[in-house]
């Protein structure tokens, strides 16, 4: 059975519009896999998709999250130009906004490995490798903490630079990660990020003391993801 991996850069796109698009790709892939399971002699080709984008200000709450971790009243969201969505990924509350590189892999893990934790680790390694290009030393979070962190071994200084939250069904993934590049970190003051109230949040701009070329970050990150997942090229 043939399988390709496609890349799309959606630029700045409303969260709900992109979520609906993700969901359509996800559901199409799940249905195609059901068809292939019932019709092994006539399989349909499948296609994974990696989406890069950024969003206008929005807070999203995962299915296991606590709504009280949004510190604003919902009536106050509009004062900050922000929206709020309760969604079906794992994890608690996080923020998306301009200056982030958000990645949504809608991938069929049948063509990679049946291990969602390993898949996330590969994406984390791609982000860690991208940050290393800029001299930012990062690693996986302290035990029990997801995402990519700076000074991750120091409980006092540890600060998250990239959040993760994913959903899977029939080994198809959706949702993904948000890397803070030139992000306005003041928006994190209105939430308990990922339900963690004793660790900091940072960005590439904050760590380097200068704005970073987001297109360059995307190019490097694409290359790192290709390498980590042993993908020859995006279609």
Q: How far apart are CA 102 and CA 158, in angstroms?
A: 22
- The answer as to CATH 3.40.50.2000 being correct for domain 3-228 is no
Query: How is the chain split into domains, by residue range?
Result: 3-228
Cα 1 from chain centroid (whole Å)? 28
**Which H/E stretch holds residue 131?**
helix 116-132
- Name the maximum alpha-carbon separation found in the chain: 58
Q: What pTM was estimated for this model as a whole?
A: 0.94
Q: Is the pLDDT of residue 35 over 90?
A: no
Q: Is the pLDDT of residue 63 over 90?
A: no
Q: Is the pLDDT of residue 195 over 60?
A: no
Q: Is the pLDDT of residue 192 over 70?
A: yes
Instruction: Indicate which residues carry an active-site annotation.
Output: 194
* Comparison of pLDDT for 71 and 10, the residue scoring more: 10
Q: What is the DSSP letter of 36?
A: H
């Amino acid at each position: 059975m043939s399988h390709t991996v496609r890349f799309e850069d959606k630029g700045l796109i409303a969260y709900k519009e992109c979520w609906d698009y993700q969901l359509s790709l996800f559901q199409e892939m799940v249905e195609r896999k059901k068809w292939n399971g019932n019709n092994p002699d006539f399989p349909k080709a499948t296609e994974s998709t990696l989406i890069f984008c950024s969003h206008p200000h929005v807070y999203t709450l995962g299915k296991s999250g606590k709504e009280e971790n949004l510190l604003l009243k919902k009536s106050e969201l509009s004062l900050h130009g922000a929206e709020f969505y309760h969604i079906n990924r794992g994890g608690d509350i996080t923020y998306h906004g301009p200056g982030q590189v958000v990645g949504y892999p809608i991938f069929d893990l049948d063509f990679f490995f049946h291990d969602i934790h390993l898949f996330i680790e590969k994406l984390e390694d791609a982000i860690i490798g991208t940050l290393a290009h800029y001299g930012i030393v990062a690693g996986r979070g302290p035990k029990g903490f997801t995402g990519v962190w700076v000074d991750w071994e120091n409980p006092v200084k540890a600060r998250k630079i990239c959040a993760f939250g994913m959903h899977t069904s029939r080994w198809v993934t959706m949702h993904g990660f948000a890397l803070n590049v030139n992000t306005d970190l003041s928006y994190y003051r209105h939430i308990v990020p990922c339900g963690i109230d004793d660790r900091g949040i940072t960005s590439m701009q904050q760590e380097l003391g200068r704005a970073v070329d987001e297109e360059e970050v995307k190019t490097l990150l694409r290359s790192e993801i290709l390498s980590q997942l042993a993908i020859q090229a995006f279609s």
